Amino acid sequence: MKVTFIGGGNMATALIGGLVARDVAASDLKVVEVLHEARARHTEKFGIACFETPAEAVPHGDAVVLAIKPQQIREVCRALAPHLTDQLVLSIAAGVRIDDIGRWLGGKSRLARCMPNTPALIGAGITAVYAKPAVDSTQRELVSTILAAAGKVVWIDDEELLDPVTALSGSGPAYVFYFLEAMQRAAAEMGLPPETGNLLAIETMRGAAELAARSTEPAAVLRERVTSKGGTTEQALASMNADRVQDAIVRAIHAANRRARELGDELGRD
């Protein structure tokens, strides 16, 4: 498996680190990165070859991973196109649709597009991925191997579902941090020392998420089991229901989904 990463930012670093940890040879990985400091960092940390332009790195290999900002992808694809042969191209650029990428690459069809999230930086991410029909089973397996280096992988059959994926799991860590902030604020207002309040909030969130992950029961059932009649949890949930907190969260995720669709339209314009 030989993979070239276009861009050496945080997500590329997470994937490279995960692949190296899974015994992928450093000699099978390459990075194209315009910043000298970033190239030096990858070479020092992982021992992989880094290049300044696609022409130096891309002609060889099985896959090219577009790990760049969405606003850069049009220009990068046009520069990359002359150097591609039949490699798989995998994009992790948020919001950029696969047909637009293919057009900028000069009509390439062996394309896949994914939506990771930031827990990938510690190997705990989840990534949804869609591939064009021209991507064969071997290449799909290659995509899964690359992305599994940073966490779990879910395949979807309709690219349009990547917009709700973006709204749910791509943006989702921010929702979790937002709720965590509220818990930590409440802890401080109730007089708990900051270190204690922060630890209690983080470990409660971590433990509850792990319990949900291990359980076969819906979240609603798990919530009900914590909620004793006349108890403290019932009072807290009654307050949240009065403020329509769940409805507000659902509306927020729908808003993120609408914005994901809008960004796809904006980023795809020539």
pLDDT in tens, 97-126: 999 999 999 998 999 999 999 999 999 999
49-51/111-115 β-pairing: unpaired
The crossing angle, in degrees rounded to 10, of helices 232-242 and 245-267 is 50
The amino acid at 59: P
Total-model pTM: 0.92
CB neighbourhood size of 120 (10 A): 23
- What residue numbers bound the domain in which 219 lies? 170-263
Q: Say if residue 202 is in the same domain as residue 138.
A: no
Q: Say if residue 149 is in the same domain as residue 184.
A: no
Quickly list DSSP for 220-268. Answer: HHHHHHH--TTSHHHHHHHHHHHTTHHHHHHHHHHHHHHHHHHHHHHHT
Task: In whole angstroms, give the CA distance from residue 58 to residue 30.
Answer: 9
Last residue within a domain, chosen from 102, 125, 158: 158
Q: pLDDT value at position 5?
A: 95
Task: In whole angstroms, give the CA distance from residue 157 to residue 133.
Answer: 10
Query: Which ranges of the chain does DSSP label H, i.e. alpha helix?
Result: 10-21, 36-46, 54-57, 73-80, 98-104, 137-148, 162-165, 172-189, 194-214, 219-226, 232-242, 245-267
Q: Which two tokens stand for residue 115?
A: 């939506």
Domain assignment of residue 165, yes or no: no
Q: Say if residue 195 is in the same domain as residue 104.
A: no
The percentage of the chain sitting over the pLDDT mark of 90, rounded to a whole number, equals: 91
Task: Assess whether pLDDT exceeds 90 at residue 60.
Answer: no
Q: What is the total residue count of the chain? A: 270
Q: How many domains does the chain have?
A: 2
Q: Say if residue 47 is in the same domain as residue 148.
A: yes
Q: Each residue of 144-190: pLDDT tens digit?
A: 999 999 999 999 999 999 999 999 999 999 999 999 999 999 999 99
Q: pLDDT value at position 29?
A: 95
